[in-house]
Homo-oligomer: A and B are copies of this chain.
Amino acid sequence: MDAKRDIDYRDAFLPTMEGLSRAGALLVAADSQGRASGMTIGWGSIGIIWRLPVFTVLVRHSRNTLHLVEEAGDFTVNVLPPELDEALAYWGKVSGRDVDKWANSGLRPAPSRRVRSPIVEQGILHFECRVIYRGDMIPGNLQPDLVSKLYASGDYHRIYYGEILACYGAP
């Protein structure tokens, strides 16, 4: 039973930006054994690059999610309803190396339509993305005030560009 409907990714831009700005969205990916986890993201970008619809996300090198996205070669971005803000906060605080984020938050993974990484069943908006390009941030190329504000620890981001293969949500 899949009551979620296809959405033009461009029409999903506003609710996605609202989600990112408010409490975040969930970036989810699965390792080679199919074990999925992920993290809360507050940043993201949507557009057309390489003639394809692309969702751009950033993952710090220290994050468990980095190796999940590398192993999967894909990821999903999931916007949740406001009543699940607490789960979003939890997924942003702990590491999937230490705990089962699903069990502890009450969120459930559900099969994706086009990628290996699962979506979050309780989500209201989903992007399924295949990694087509990745770029590690080069510290010297970033505005210096942002380096001191966001990268004092030296833990830089890898920037993932995912072709949007599917976008759908609650009607």
A52 and chain B: residue at smallest CB distance: B146
Q: Residues of B contacting A58 with CB < 8 Å?
A: 49
Decide if A45 is an interface residue (CB 8 Å cutoff).
yes
Decide if A110 is an interface residue (CB 8 Å cutoff).
no
Contact indicator per residue, chain A 139-170, by CB within 8 Å of chain B (1) or not (0): 00111001000100000000100000000000
Q: Tell whether A138 pairs with B137 under 8 Å between CB atoms, given A13-B10, A13-B14, A45-B47.
A: no
- On chain A, which size bracket covers the interface? 20 to 34
Bound-state Cα–Cα, A14 to B14, Å: 9
CB distance from A38 to the nearest CB of B (A): 18
- Is the Cβ of B137 less than 8 Å from the Cβ of A137? no
* Stretch among A26-34, A61-69, A94-102, A127-135 lining the B interface: A127-135
CB distance from A113 to the nearest CB of B (A): 20
Bound-state Cα–Cα, A46 to B50, Å: 15
Q: Residues of B contacting A134 with CB < 8 Å?
A: 141
| CB contact list, A51-86 vs B, under 8 A | 51, 54, 56, 58
Contact indicator per residue, chain A 85-119, by CB within 8 Å of chain B (1) or not (0): 00000000000000000000000000000000000
Q: A20-B48, A21-B48, A46-B47 are in contact. List 6 more A-B contacts (CB 8 A).
A: A43-B47, A43-B48, A45-B56, A47-B56, A51-B150, A134-B141
Pick the 4 closest A-B CB pairs, nearest first. A45-B47, A132-B143, A45-B45, A43-B49
